[in-house]
Amino acid sequence: TWTPDAFAETTVAELREKIGNDKVILGLSGGVDSTVAAVLLHQAIGKHLHCIFVNNGLLRKNEFQEVLDQYEHMGLNVKGVDASKLFLDALKGEADPEKKRKIIGRIFIDVFDDEAHKVEDAKWLGQGTIYPDVIESVSATGGPSATIKSHHNVGGLPDYMKLKVVEPLKMLFKDEVRRVGASLGIPDERLGRHPFPGPGLAIRILGDITPEKVEILQEVDHVFIKGLVDWGLYDQIWQAGAILLPVQSVGVMGDERTYEKCVALRAVESTDGMTADWVHLPYEFMQKISNDIINKVPGVNRVVYDISSKPPATIEWE
Ligand code: XMP
C-alpha cells in the first residue's frame, strides 16, 4: 500500500540517482505543490536546487516576505525577486481578463528566465505538476477550459530554456501531496493553504488594475482571511477570497454621503475545484467581517456575499 513516508523516501532516492550533481531550477509560488516538490528535491540534492520566488505584486498582503522567510527557515536555497513594478506597469489600463492573464504569464516567463540564466550550468527545471494538472492540460486542447488556465504551470516552458523537466509529484493527487508534505515536516500552515490563482489578485480586481486597487483588495482580503482563521472556519473551506467590483455605491458616514467601492466576498467548498458550493458562513461572522472591512479599509463602503455555485458560476469572477 501507498504511504507518504515510503513515497518520500523512494522519490528522494530516485531524484538523487537521476539528477546526480546537476543543478535544478524551480519556481516557488507559496502554494502546496511547488513547496512539496522543492522539499523533495532539496532533500535529494541540497544546495544544487535553486528556487526562485517571484513577487508579481498581486499576492496577498505581506505574503511575499512571510513566505520567503518561511522558505529560508526551511533551509531552501531560494531567491526572492520583487518584480511588482514590472507586472503592474505592464497591466496598466488592461481590463480584459484573458489579456491580463497573458500579460502576467509573459512577464513571469521573462523574469523567471532572467533569473534562471543567472544559475550557471543548470540542467533541469523542477515543477510541482500534480496528476490533475496533467489530465487537464491534455484535455484542454481547445474547449472552454483551454483558456481557463493560460497561466498554469503545465507546458509553460519556453523552448529557449533548454532544460530537462523533473516533476516528482506528477502521479499524485492533491490530498496525497499534502500527506507527503506533512511527512516531510512542512508546516501545516503551508500545506493547508487555500488554492490561489497564478495571476493572483489581478483576476479579483474586475476591470483595470491600479496599485491603489491592489492595496485596497489586499486589505479587504487580509481582514476576511484573518477573520476566517480566527473564527476556526478557514480549514473547513476549500477556497476563499475577496473581489473588488468596478462599482461604486452611495453610503453614509456621519453627516456625509459617500460614493465608494463595493467588494464581494467568496468562500466555497469543493473537492477538486471543478464544482463548488458557496459556504454557509455564520451570520454573526458575516456581520462582524462586513463591519471590520468597512471600518478598516478606506474607500470601501459596501460588502456583499457571493451565493452562486459552480456550475454555472465559476469560483473566480474573471
Ligand atoms: P474557476 O474560476 O475556473 O477556478 O472556477 C477554478 C480554480 O482554478 C483557479 N484559477 C486559476 N489558477 N491560473 C491559475 O493558476 C488562472 O488563470 C486561474 N483561474 C482560475 C481558481 O482560483 C480555482 O481554484
HEC letters along 126-143 = ECCCCHHHHHHHHHCCCC
Is-cis flag, bond preceding 197, omega within 30?
no
Q: What is the largest CA-CA distance in the chain?
A: 72
For ligand 1, residues with CB inside 6 Å are: 101, 148-149, 151-152, 195, 197-199, 239, 273, 310, 314-316
Question: What's the CA-to-centroid distance between 32 and ligand 1, angstroms?
Answer: 15
Return residue ranges of the chain for CATH 3.30.300.10: 210-305
Fold adopted by 4-191: Rossmann fold (3.40.50)
Model ipTM? 0.99
Nearest CA to ligand 1 atom 14: 197
Best residue for ligand 1 mutational test, from 149, 154, 266 (most atoms within 8 Å of Cβ): 149
pLDDT tens series, the chain, 318 aa: 899 999 999 999 999 999 999 999 999 999 999 999 999 999 999 999 999 999 999 999 999 999 999 999 999 999 999 999 999 999 999 999 999 999 999 999 999 999 999 999 999 999 999 998 888 776 544 333 333 334 444 455 554 467 999 999 999 999 999 999 999 999 999 999 999 999 999 999 999 999 999 999 999 999 999 999 999 999 999 999 999 999 999 999 889 999 999 999 999 999 889 999 999 999 999 999 999 999 999 999 999 999 999 999 999 999
Position in ligand 1 atom list of the atom nearest CA 195: 24
Phi, psi of 134 (to 5 degrees): -65, -50
Nearest CA to ligand 1 atom 20: 197
DSSP 8-class letter at 276: B
Per the structure block, which three cell numbers stand in for 27?
519556481
Do 128 and 33 meet the contact criterion of CB atoms below 8 Å apart? yes
Q: C-alpha angle 137/142/143, rounded to 5°?
A: 90
- The answer as to CATH 3.30.300.10 being correct for domain 210-305 is yes
Alpha helices in 53-167 (DSSP H): 63-73, 84-91, 97-118, 131-139, 145-148
Return residue ranges of the chain for CATH 3.40.50.620: 4-191
